[in-house]
Amino acid sequence: MLTTNTARIVPTAWACYESLRYYRSMHRRQTLGLADPIVANRFLLWSIWTGAVTFLPLVALTIRGLSIAASLVS
């Protein structure tokens, strides 16, 4: 279970990091007039989306862990 979720988290976290890094680069270029603001915004939106997808397996693990803990208590 943990291995599967790790295999899901690592690539999306990497994509989030890379898109945030490229957004910063595009934002710097935008201030110099070398990049389109729409393209820079798309990198920001992509990083937000991949960041949200990164946290989905963590939420699933937490919910699963809470339900297991609740069944052990009752």
Computed on alpha carbons and rounded to an integer, the radius of gyration of the chain in Å comes to: 18
Q: Answer yes or no: is pLDDT of 74 > 70.
A: no
Average the pLDDT over 44-65 and give the result.
Answer: 90
Task: Select the more confidently predicted residue: 31 or 70.
Answer: 31
**Backbone phi, then psi, for 44, in 5-degree steps?**
-65, -45
pLDDT tens column, 2-16: 787 788 889 999 999
Q: Which amino acid is at 43?
A: F
Q: What is the mean pLDDT of residues 19-31?
A: 96
**DSSP class of residue 35?**
S
| Global pTM value | 0.77
